[in-house]
Structure 1
Amino acid sequence: MRLAPLTSLTPEQTELLETIVGPGVEPPPPFLAWARNMELAHWVENLGAYCRNRSRFPQRLRELSVLIAGRHFDSRSAWNAHYEQAVEEGVPAECLDRLARGEDPGFKAEDERVFHAFAHEMLYDHFVTDETYAAALALFGEDGVLDLIGCIGSFSMSAMMLNTFRIPLRDHLPNPFPETDGFPY
């Protein structure tokens, strides 16, 4: 990891971290990284908390959004931290395994298929086709489309931070993207 351990926390950092994980609970490394810049951490955590806990999507699609962003940025840490939860929430493992290999995941559920198509076009093409936008709007509504954009944006930022600072999460798991030359975590 490129960041030195935090040896002590300011009262402001302690308050933020306790708000996120609870008093006396060891915060996961990503939150410790953001806590190094408290001005930014406040905004990042508000968006992240909304996307993790309050967006209009069921937890299954929230977890899928982490994995889509994690795959786009080749973030093994993000992937390994959320893969099992996504499967437990009902995202088919075989679809996620195809996503990890860079293949069409072949989602059968309409919401997963449209969610992935929208996110994929946004991340890879930088634009969303009229057809995909109309499908997302019909399925998720305008507020849902905005939540989708916000969740992918938030989890993309987290994946970039994990990669930049080489923060290992569940590094005992195998690399889901063996073709990448990223850091070995």
Structure 2
Amino acid sequence: MPIDSRLSPLDEATMAPDQRRVLDAILSGPRGNLDGPFLAWIHSPKLADHAQRLGAFCRYGTRLETRLTELAILFTAAWWQSQAEWQIHAPIARESGVSEALIEALQTGREPAFERDDEALVYRLGKTLYTTRRVDDALYAEAVAAFGEAALVELVGIFGYYALVAMTLNVFEVRRDTAPLPFAEP
């Protein structure tokens, strides 16, 4: 799907060797495309290299079910009203088992009705973390009991990484040019 942004377009003929190396790593990895924030990050090859490796782990390598990873990503996209992040991940979330009702509630900013306790917990963690910048002892204990410490560390990493993604996409106005915007622009 075509992508637009306010960045200068990449030119194969003038691309620096570091850009080419990182581009090749992204294209040969699990994503297979220069979608989303990579369109911006490739302008800084060192950032792109580190970020794409962290992103591959956060999306494909954690202990969490893909459904929960995608829920955390959509929560973050909705929080930041990140157009492209939502456009990219809403279909993946659906395919991963996140219900249409939950996706719609996140997109419209309504409190979701949860069918699954683990989804409610991911939502509460994200909302608490983004709202208060902390997680109290009770919520922390509940999350450790549900997911384990290592998976909770990874979930916090997902929230943090996708906040970076959302900020990047918002600042550089990265958009899928053929898709309607999921959020009203301020």
TM-score, length-scaled by structure 2 = 0.88
Residue equivalent to 1:145: 152
Q: Counterpart of 1:128? A: 135
- Given that residues 71 and 100 in structure 1 are in contact (C-alpha distance below 8 angstroms), is that contact kept between their aligned partners in structure 2? yes
- Could you tell me how far 1:29 is from its partner in structure 2? 4.8
Q: Structure 2: which amino acid aligns with 1:160? A: M
Residue by residue, what CA displacement relative to the aligned partner does 1:113-159 show, whole Å, maximum 9, x if unpaired? Answer: 11111011101221112222111110111101100110010011001
Identity between Structure 1 and Structure 2 (%): 34
Q: Is the contact between residue 119 and residue 148 of structure 1 (CA under 8 Å) also seen in structure 2?
A: no
Alignment of 1:1-185 (within 5 A): 1-8=5-12, 9-22=15-28, 26-169=33-176, 171-178=177-184, 180-181=185-186
Q: Which runs of 4+ in 1 moved over 3 A?
A: none
- Cα RMSD, aligned residues only: 1.7
Gaps of 5+ in 2: none
Number of residue equivalences: 178
CA deviations on 1:2-38 (whole Å, 9 max, x unpaired) are 1010113222222222222229x65225213111112
Q: Deviations over 1:36-64 (max 9, x none)?
A: 11222222112111101101111111211
Query: SS of 2:175's equivalent?
Result: coil
**Judging changes above 3 Å, is the alpha-carbon distance between structure 1 residues 166 and 84 closer, same or farther for their aligned structure 2 residues?**
same
Are the aligned partners of 1:60 and 1:91 in contact in 2 as well (CA < 8 Å)? yes
Partners of 2:98 and 2:36 in 1: CA distance = 26
Greater displacement, 60-69 / 155-164: 60-69
